[in-house]
Amino acid sequence: MNMSERLEAIISGRVQMVMYRDFVCRKARALKLTGEVQNLKDGTVRVIAEGTREQLEKLLARLCHGSLLANVRNVMPVWKPATNEYSAFTINYE
């Protein structure tokens, strides 16, 4: 049985106003992950995703590459146990 894990990542670089959240959301949904992606006030993007380690590692690789217009400088991942608080993957606009 595959255990669920949680990936929390802060992505810096040119990642706002370049469709990065939409890119992340599409990739996460394709991988059948749950969680959210959100722009932060400091210009970074925060991703919280839950799924199997294999799925999350695939997402992490895509986070590092980024969308066509993005210029990812740094991805800071933190691995945690899953909380199962999400039922889908969404964009948080707050």
- Residue 74 belongs to a domain: yes
- Residue 22 belongs to a domain: yes
| Total structural domains within the chain | 1
**Which of 2, 6, 14, 39 is the catalytic position?**
39
User: In whole angstroms, how large is the CA radius of gyration of the chain?
Assistant: 12
Task: Tell whether pTM > 0.85.
Answer: yes
**Which of 2, 6, 14, 21 is the catalytic position?**
21
Residue 39 falls in the annotated catalytic set: yes
- Residue 94 belongs to a domain: no
- Residue 46 belongs to a domain: yes
Sequential DSSP letters for 12-26: EEE-SSSSHHHHHHH
CATH of the domain at 67: 3.30.70.100
Per-residue pLDDT in tens (0 to 9) along the chain, 94 residues:
468 999 999 999 999 999 999 999 999 999 999 999 999 999 999 999 999 999 999 999 999 999 889 999 999 999 999 999 999 999 999 8
Q: Are strands 45-52 and 4-14 parallel, antiparallel or unpaired?
A: antiparallel
Task: Write the DSSP symbol of residue 53.
Answer: H
- Residue 51 belongs to a domain: yes
Q: Which domain holds residue 36?
A: 4-89
Quickly tell me which residue has 């929390």 as its tokens. 8
Instruction: Please tell me the predicted confidence (pLDDT) of residue 31.
Output: 98
- Residue 14 belongs to a domain: yes
